[in-house]
């Protein structure tokens, strides 16, 4: 079933404000307790694992680590990284 598409004429400022509000409401990390302390950038995650960022990217692609998107930024969870590192031979 295809969703109905609606075209609305608006100015760029209004569109920008509406999109910013949607992104803000869909990326609120405060709804997950402790996530701010658990978030790692790819650089931080690669340092924790003792591997380069390209190697980390290969491990992510292979499914060894899960990446979360918050807006346009990508994060890994430290708790998941530590668990994956204990149970694998990376």
What is the CATH classification number for the domain harbouring 75? 1.10.10
Residue 54 lies in a domain: yes
Question: Model pTM greater than 0.75?
Answer: no
Give the largest CA-CA distance in the chain: 55
What pLDDT does residue 5 have?
79
Of residues 36 and 46, the one with the higher pLDDT is: 46
Residue 7 lies in a domain: no
In which domain, by residue range, is 35 found?
12-87
What pLDDT does residue 2 have?
75
Lowest-confidence segment of 9-18, 42-51, 73-82 by average pLDDT:
9-18
> Residue 62: which pLDDT band, with cuts at 50, 70 and 90?
very high
pLDDT above 60: residue 49: yes
Number of domains in the chain: 1
Given a contact cutoff of 8 angstroms between Cβ atoms, the answer to whether 46 and 55 are in contact is yes
Residue 37 lies in a domain: yes
């Amino acid at each position: 079933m295809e969703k109905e598409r609606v075209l609305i004429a608006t100015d760029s400022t209004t569109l920008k404000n509406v999109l910013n509000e949607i992104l803000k409401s869909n990326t609120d990390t405060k709804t997950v307790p402790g996530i701010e302390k658990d978030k790692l950038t790819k650089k931080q995650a690669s340092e924790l694992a003792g591997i380069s960022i390209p190697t980390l990217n290969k491990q992510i692609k292979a499914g060894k680590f899960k990446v979360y998107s918050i807006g346009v930024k990508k994060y890994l969870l430290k708790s998941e990284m530590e668990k994956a590192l204990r149970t694998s031979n990376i």
